[in-house]
Amino acid sequence: MDAVLRIERSVQAYPWTRGNFSDALSSGYLCLVEEAACEIRGFAVLMPGVEEAEVLNIAVAHAHQRKGLGRVMLSDMLAMASKMNWLRVFLEVRASNEGAIALYHAAGFTQVGVRRAYYRRADGREDALVMGCYLTGEKNG
């Protein structure tokens, strides 16, 4: 938990709290860490729904970004979701988060909506893009 919080606080302007992570764990959300040489380098949290799931959080420590870890964790979560027979995975992402949006597009997500002024930011609010990825081979969107 401490390692995950350190990463979260270093990469997010409005980080999840320890309580948010422990609620995710106690609610049975799928929580995954990427670890090598006894170092946690990234994590991801997937919230199950009835036939769908939502990626609530995913992050990689600064020092390990752009090495494919985000892609691997996202792909692992999509594989877990497929195994659970969920039909689609959703997520929300800041409209300004070009790196994450590029990662999601590369993994097969497409934009399915916008939540206006959804996120706080230093100078006001910013939109969330809602993105989805079908797991059944249907067309994304």
Q: How far is the CB of 98 from ligand COA (least distance, A)?
A: 6
From candidates 11, 31, 32, 47, binder to ligand COA by CB under 6 A:
11
Quick check: 43 and 58 in contact, CB under 8 A? Answer: yes
Quick check: 129 and 95 in contact, CB under 8 A? Answer: yes
The vertex-35 CA angle with 65 and 87, nearest 5°, equals 80
From candidates 103, 131, 133, 135, binder to ligand COA by CB under 6 A:
103
From candidates 25, 106, 114, 117, binder to ligand COA by CB under 6 A:
106
Nearer to ligand COA, 14 or 85 (CB): 14
Q: What is the rounded distance in angstroms from the CA atom of residue 62 to the CA atom of residue 110?
A: 26
Q: How many CB atoms lie within 10 A of CB 114?
A: 13
What positions carry a catalytic annotation? 92, 104
Residues 20-59 that bind ligand COA (CB under 6 A): 58-59
Q: How far is the CB of 68 from ligand COA (least distance, A)?
A: 4
Q: How many CB atoms lie within 10 A of CB 61?
A: 19
Q: How far is the CB of 50 from ligand COA (least distance, A)?
A: 23
CA 9 to chain CA centroid, nearest Å: 15
Does residue 132 touch ligand COA according to CB under 6 A? Answer: no
